[in-house]
A and B are shown apart, each in its own frame.
Chain A
């Protein structure tokens, strides 16, 4: 396949004149450069600004940190200001247990939520992939449907369901399963429910796409060779869906670590997660340098799973047909 594509492209290249080819090369460069420029201006530059702020000291000023690094005093002034930058804020993060507890809790909450989302999402994706082909687009639509409503509103709605006098408790007490309301809201349980609910589509979609393209004759072959259906699932279906599992887990885990809205609305004041800590530092304490340092460390923590994700994607593409 690759050879055929290559040779046909060669043939095209021969057929084109030199100026045409040059124009084509310039055009393809331009197309590639646009997303890179986008990333440069809207990711790398802001990140460098945040990084620089994280090296500053808080101040009662506008902006609330120092040094500002401007050229008002000429180059010598700039250099003098630059010398004031320090890693003190990072040292501070290691000294106050608040921060590393928050990081650790965030990673733990994200990990547990990811596992829960996988447990809920796998059967859904499996059922969808096994549904009659005519039904699949509808099922897919239903998974994506919640995105049509604001995320914030959907999380607010969960407050109404989970609070002591909420729908869930009323229903359970009405049926007579419990006598007194369950305290779910403002606990980690509520945070898990919120994350699992909100991120379920990110788990289901990659799982579905890896399960759906799997050839059913592989399962039949396994059964033919003596596997009962359950064994066939563990020996064939499950290993072949690992790329989907990895993709789904990382798509849930990465944003869940820095999640702010769900712990803030559903977790209440008891839950300590890094997203909330960051918000508090920034808006309540107006400590821009420390909150910037928190953000930079969060990014560093997330780089590891992101790199794993990229590698897994590349490998899946290489092996996939």
Chain B
């Protein structure tokens, strides 16, 4: 898996057994009455990491962030930051700052007063405050708007004020709760890269909560996929996508085709999986699959080839009928109904303007994939 991680950049303290976690959730549980928001969760985040907590609403990701900020105390377990147990430390004494989803800009203060707020609070000399505020305004490109009130700014500008305010104190960790949630798509994409640059420039540890997988994949060094208060997988974006640890993760991140079947044969690292209706799949990376057990074979749509004739060299090939075609510009997604009734998505990059093997609705078609194109999931 190491090769997959290095696709992004040569920063991987999580692979270094000697590296000490900067933030450490140690068997943390948080209950609200009968509801368990976070359930016996352990997680290590490293210094200077851009870490994303990804999950659907109600999965406990925001609770995790709020516990780190000090707005909630864990019911059990402990949270360590830079070797210090955070238990009982109120939010105003924690060396972390948060950027709120609603931005929470103080409406009665100008942009510069908002940014200076935390600095004045910690008793920084006036001249230094002014210097830092100017620096921050420059960083987020809001110098001309210093005297404006929040309600006189656009959504994107407000987001940048919130960001400047939360990094002004140079916190050990910056917590971002859905930082781009309120922006429109175009602005969101631009801002993603701005956030990444900012993190690099300031050398801070970022923990971002998001429900947008594209956002998490783009920005984060590692992603924790959460469900029902537990972490399902912690890995780099590439690993999460290419080597999901479970059916949940495979289904949550991106599109996936799942084939249910039984392991009929195992030899070395490869295996043969037979589906209920006799379809056979040969895989080269069978992992933990044990002979005669039920497993899922997960394969991404873009790793499936679709053609009108069975490719001569194909090891895995299944036949079906084109049920639907979605032309997306950069790619075309075919929905193929296999002869055993299963629907399969196959995505083809439109590398040429005119397809050389045109397929249309109701055509008979073959789908094929390499033995290492998918993953076998036992969980």
Contacts and interface: CB of A to CB of B under 8 A. Distances in A.
B203 to A, nearest CB: 21
B92 A223 contact: yes
Interface string B102-130: 10111110000000011001100000000
A215 B102 contact: yes
B29 interface: no
Interface string A198-218: 000000000000000001011
A137 B151 CA distance: 30
A315 to B, nearest CB: 12
B92 A227 contact: yes
Contacts of A215: 102, 104
Contacts of B101: 217
B169 interface: yes
A236 B96 CA distance: 20
Contacts of B117: 222, 225, 235
Interface residues of A, number: 19
Contacts of B220: none
Interface in B79-100: 90-93, 96-98, 100
A231 B118 CA distance: 12
Nearest to B100: A217
A317 to B, nearest CB: 13
Contact of B104 (A221, A235, A319, A321): A221
B167 to A, nearest CB: 11
A218 B106 contact: yes
B69 A228 contact: no
Interface string B145-174: 000000100000000000001100100000
Contacts of A321: 151
B71 interface: yes
A26 B100 CA distance: 49
Interface residues of B, number: 26
B151 A226 contact: no
Contacts of A221: 98, 100, 104-106
A239 interface: yes
Nearest to A242: B108
Interface string A232-246: 000110011000000
A220 interface: yes
B97 A236 contact: no
Which applies to chain A's interface (DSSP): helix, strand, loop or mixed?
Answer: helix
Given A225-B118, A226-B121, A236 B106 contact: yes
Given A228-B92, A319-B151, A217 B121 contact: no
A217 B108 contact: no
B151 A224 contact: no
A246 to B, nearest CB: 14
A99 to B, nearest CB: 42
Contacts of A319: 107, 151
A217 B162 CA distance: 12
B99 to A, nearest CB: 9
A180 to B, nearest CB: 49
B122 A218 contact: no
Most buried by A among B70, B100, B107: B107
A226 B169 contact: yes
A136 to B, nearest CB: 20
Given A217-B100, A231-B121, A223 B91 contact: yes
A242 to B, nearest CB: 8
Contacts of B121: 225-227, 231
A215 B108 CA distance: 13
A208 B107 CA distance: 18
A240 B107 contact: yes
Contacts of A223: 70-71, 90-92
A321 B149 CA distance: 13
B109 to A, nearest CB: 9
B108 A239 contact: yes
A258 to B, nearest CB: 34
Contact of A224 (B91, B102, B107, B122): B91
B106 A224 contact: no
A239 B113 CA distance: 14
Contacts of A224: 69-70, 91-92, 96-98, 166
Interface of B: 69-71, 90-93, 96-98, 100-102, 104-108, 117-118, 121-122, 151, 165-166, 169
11 contacts: A217-B102, A220-B98, A222-B106, A222-B117, A223-B92, A224-B96, A225-B118, A225-B169, A226-B93, A226-B169, A228-B90
Given A223-B70, A224-B166, A319-B107, 13 more contacts: A217-B102, A217-B104, A220-B69, A221-B105, A221-B106, A222-B117, A224-B91, A224-B92, A225-B118, A226-B169, A227-B121, A228-B92, A236-B106
